[in-house]
Amino acid sequence: MKPGDELIFLPLGGSGEIGMNVNLYGCRGKWIMCDLGMTFGDPSLPGIELVLPDLQFIEDRREDLLGVLLTHGHEDHIGAIPYLAGDLGVPLYATPFTAGLIRRKLEDEGLAGDVKLNVVPMGGEVALGPFRARYVALAHSIPEGNGLVIDTPHGRLFHTGDWKLDDRPILGDPASAEELMAIGANGGEGTLALVGDSTNVFNPLPSGSESQVFDGLMQLVKSRRRGRVLVTTFASNATRLHTLGEVAKATGRRLVLVGRSLERILQVAKATGYLRDFPEPMSWEAAASHPPEKLLLVATGTQGEPQAALARIAEGTHPIKLEAGDLVVYSSKQIPGNELAIGRVQNALAARGIEIIGDRQAHVHVSGHPGRPELEAMYGWIRPRIAVPVHGERRHMEEHARIALEAGVPQAIVPVNGAAIRLAPGKPEVVSHEPHGRLVLDGDVILPADGATIASRRKMAWSGHMVVTLVVGGKGRLAAEPVVIAKGVPVEEDEEAFLAEAVEAAATTFAKVGLKDRRRLEDELKIAVRRVARQWTGKKPPTDVQIISV
Ligand SMILES: [Zn+2]
Ligand SMILES: [Zn+2]
């Protein structure tokens, strides 16, 4: 696929999933990329924390890729940069705060000199071949959420990035309704397509303003006369940090930051002009002897991550200690899939007599993504001819398409990863399916999520693993008794008896089949030993055979 005199949209990640956003636009032989995100592992990927998009398609065309435009600093938009941007070898573009976060990542990986990172001022423009992109500030749950107005020879695109409406956003200065209307009008030309966020399409209400969170947290913290208050939130939500700083000042509590990522965000935010009035945090040591009712702690770990500060505080293994009568506030939402992990942490807190308040008990969180009324407002302002929902699972994107059509958009097309969609000229349609997929970071190694390593890892994780070893002497007789090793096979205290039977089965098989056909011997040994495992346990662990001649 090489775009001719046409406009192509091709997502390599983020369509059909919330995470791992990678979107390509192609025109006249050239491509630009919007965002380069990652996602997290799940139980189907044992041992894997990070999942990355497979960029083979664009790596094969890297001489035609002109640059990567980053909309904002969330991991699902920039997280794959340290792993994949070096190979792409094209310049990155980001606004100052986002660029600060990216620079940190590149420095951590020792790649700062290898990747060209261009800092674009808020509202700045980037011209790349047939594309001219302008950054448009939109409210979101991180400073410098940006949409991109992308002008092309085939018309104007509005790529929303992640966004919401917030008339009192506390940090930042999002585009007004008038400005968005002017973007849509495009000097009378109108807008060809809106490519946008579907995350919260099922919310019938507006997302709400960060100012309401300030009010909610103020009320809550002020009402606590005794004990520590710990608020857990996403580290990247620097606006929420600012809000908590203000709450601490107003309630006479000292702020304590718990979690390395919080300190990192604070540094980047201050270096790029945010959080200038943030109160000086108190050290953990000083906090230990400070009156509890004079402390407001902020900790990472909203999603139950076992290594994060909150989980360790809940288990009592962190230098910061909470006790009965203290309060933990979840200033965050539960990301689907994390309920069990979050529940585990909350149970540990509850067992220590710590009170827990979440966004259902008090107004302590607002979402960073648009609810239905905000989507309708945006379509009213931009008035695209085509709606292209992205950043959602299939159900979110289909619902988003329905809302767009009801809002008067003439056409909507729901993309899937790898589908090249021609947006112009003519009706929007899928013109080809291109290679796409998922990679995993396994230790320091990047490999395919559906490759041999992960497949055998999964089998071992589910069923355990066995090895049969035969040592054969000069006359083709066994030089020793066969050895069988079983790992993760559910035999527990019967292990010895089980292994003895497996050894006997191996010896009998060898006596029957002999050494002449080695391949057949290996197969028969596998079958015999696995049969023993199945009889004992009902499981069929993958089994390896080694035959050693001496
Ligand atoms: Zn985001
Ligand atoms: Zn996102």
Mean pLDDT on 364-371: 95
Neighbours of ion ligand 1 (CB under 5 A): 74, 162
**pLDDT tens across 470-520, in order?**
999 988 899 999 999 999 999 999 999 999 999 999 999 999 999 889 999
Report residue 192 as tokens: 């060809």
**pLDDT tens across 346-355, in order?**
999 999 999 9
Considering every ligand atom, which ligand is closest to the CA of 18? 2
CA of 159 to the centre of ligand 1 (A): 13
Query: How many whole angstroms separate alpha carbon 148 and alpha carbon 140?
Result: 14
pLDDT band at 360 (very low <50, low <70, confident <90, very high): confident
Q: Count the Cβ atoms, other than its own, within 10 Å of residue 354.
A: 21
Considering every ligand atom, which ligand is closest to the CA of 37? 2
Under 8 Å between Cβ of 379 and 369: no
CA of 75 to the centre of ligand 1 (A): 8
Name every residue whose Cβ is closer than 8 Å to that of residue 471 and which is 6 or more positions away in sequence: 478, 479, 480, 548, 550
pTM of the model: 0.92
- State whether residue 349 is helix, strand or coil: helix
Query: How many whole angstroms separate alpha carbon 244 and alpha carbon 213?
Result: 10
> Which domains does the chain carry?
7-205+367-448 (3.60.15.10), 210-357 (3.40.50.10710), 464-549 (3.10.20.580)
How is residue 176 annotated by DSSP? P
CA of 44 to the centre of ligand 1 (A): 25
* Residue 350 half-sphere exposure toward CB, CA atoms < 13 A: 8
**pLDDT tens across 213-268, in order?**
999 999 999 999 999 999 999 999 999 999 999 999 999 999 999 999 999 999 99
Give the residue ranges of DSSP H helices in 409-467: 452-463
- State whether residue 179 is helix, strand or coil: helix
The residue count for the chain: 550
**pLDDT tens across 98-112, in order?**
999 999 999 999 998
pLDDT > 90? residue 197 = yes
Considering every ligand atom, which ligand is closest to the CA of 142? 1
* Residue 51 half-sphere exposure toward CB, CA atoms < 13 A: 23
How is residue 530 annotated by DSSP? H
CA of 256 to the centre of ligand 1 (A): 25
CA of 287 to the centre of ligand 1 (A): 33
CA of 124 to the centre of ligand 2 (A): 21
Give the residue ranges of DSSP H helices in 15-156: 56-59, 75-78, 81-88, 96-108
483-507: buried (b, 16+ CB within 10 Å) or exposed (e) per residue?
ebebeebbbeeeeeebbebbbebbe
